[in-house]
Amino acid sequence: MGPHNTEKYTCGYVFDEVYFPVDALKNLKGIDYFDPEPPLTKLVIAGGISWLGFNPWGWRIMSAILGSLVVGVLYFMARRLWRRSRVFPTLAGLFLSLDGLELVESRTGVIDVIAVFFVMMAFWMFLLHWHARTPRQWRWTLYLTGLASGLGLAAKADVIPAVLLMLALLLGRWARPHLRLRWGRRDGPGWLLPPAGDDPVEAARRTMVANLAWAWHYLAAGLLILAIFYVSFFRYWTISHSLYVNFANTRGPTVSCTGFVAKASVCDLPVAMPLREVRLGPADVWLPTGFNLVQSLADVEWNSLGSLSYQATLKATHPFASPFYSWPLDAHPVLFYATYSGNGVSTVGGQTVSNYAWISDMGNPAIFWLGMLALAWCLYLTVRRRDRVALFILMGFLFDWLVLWSWPSRILFFYEFIGSLPFVCLALAYACSRLLERRMVLQAGRLRLGSYSLAPVSAAVVLAVVLCFAYFYPLWTGQPIPSTDFFQHIWIPGWY
């Protein structure tokens, strides 16, 4: 375990469980710690520990619950995207539930799938907001989008691409009446023009006035996001801190505290929200005895600066690190757990061989590789047919994959791709759903030879996903298998 982890448990941790559950326990005990990610995910894990105890069940239960709920949220997202199809959302949820990256993250006490849950909730609320039919729906869904986005920001920075995509779409909707005004008195792009019989200039002016009248609601939603991020430090405010300044130190023996350069000995800052134990009936509770607003802001500021400094100056290496451009190909996943002895033996072909046990976060190859073809098809539909569902799926994938992960110089890991995975599943489900409605016509010259449904292609894709899930399930769950079978599962060198 890391040097700052003082809690030990006799059962083995899996991958980063040596950090996050221990940090969650320190939240419960009021012990200082530093983690370069926002605090909400550790508080969520702490809820499971307080419920079931400091054991694998306790620190994994919240990931399991929220990881399962992501499947349902994706289903409702897909229903909102393409409302006339029930097959599309069903396949999207099915594909996500049959992916190895989603499965492993949901069975492990780490933070990524918790953050993805809030990001997907934000997207779902945004789609409801986009299609709101009344001012009341418009307001409620906007602030629910802000609430989910704020929780996502308090969990991990993965929500930033989602918010940027939402802003891009809203700005596009806002710019549409301006372009209508420009082309309203002459020929222009048909998709910018209002329905026949409506004066384009007048319709555009009405839309612009409405946009300006409601602009302050968007500002309030943005402030709500920042407020939730700020309030997520509520437990942090109750603990005396000095660790975080060490990670913000980039100038040698001195560190920066509250805006001044000083020695580390004077960096023990006051507690922003001290607690006192109070007896209320049969229970003892801890209640705040005061609140230092300035210190609370300083805590958030310096923790954030320390996190940014840590991320920017990290020079570590790792055998399972991988560049961002390899993630869509499922080329080099992260090994969470491995043991090559003590798993018993098996008899294969009359010979006794050892059993291997692995937990790798590799994605389902059928979903990843066929999903890339589906995303390329979404690009075709966007360019040639102006398909808005395909456009949203493609933009969601590209924003999440590229905005945060295409530029850092520090090491990166495959599990960061989990935020893009739902859009890969959406793309594959959309392609299968559209194929169900299509027929292939065979003809020679003017002679029509026949018309054939493409539904068997969709069925073959679903079957491939299910078979790959069953085949790779042992490598996602740590089930011992004969070493000879194990190496048959390693299809490409980057998996081993």
Domain ranges for the chain: 233-313
Q: What is the pLDDT of residue 262?
A: 41
- pTM comes to 0.87
Q: What is the pLDDT of residue 316?
A: 80
Q: What is the pLDDT of residue 34?
A: 81
Please tell me the least confidently modeled range out of 12-16, 219-223, 438-442: 438-442
pLDDT tens for each residue of 329-357: 999 999 999 988 877 887 777 788 889 99
Q: What is the pLDDT of residue 100?
A: 96
Banded model confidence at residue 371, pLDDT cuts 50, 70, 90: very high
Banded model confidence at residue 180, pLDDT cuts 50, 70, 90: low
Q: What is the pLDDT of residue 8?
A: 52
Q: What is the pLDDT of residue 280?
A: 78
Q: What is the pLDDT of residue 351?
A: 82
The answer to whether the CB of 335 falls within 8 A of the CB of 16 is no
Nearest to 481 by CA among 343, 355, 337: 355
Banded model confidence at residue 242, pLDDT cuts 50, 70, 90: low
DSSP assignment of 79-135 equals: HHHSTT-SHHHHHHHHHHHT-HHHHHHHTSS-SHHHHHHHHHHHHHHHHHHHT--SH
- The pLDDT of 372-399, averaged and rounded, is 95
Percent share of the chain, pLDDT over 90: 55
pLDDT tens for each residue of 49-105: 999 999 999 999 999 999 999 999 999 999 999 988 999 999 999 999 999 999 999
Q: Mean of the per-residue pLDDT values for the chain? A: 84
Residue 19 phi/psi, 5-degree rounding, is: -110, -60
- The pLDDT of 213-238, averaged and rounded, is 92
At 331 the three-state DSSP class reads: coil
Structure tokens that stand for 42 in this block: 């550790």
Report CA-CA distances (Å) from 10 to 13, 63, 341, 353.
9, 21, 19, 29
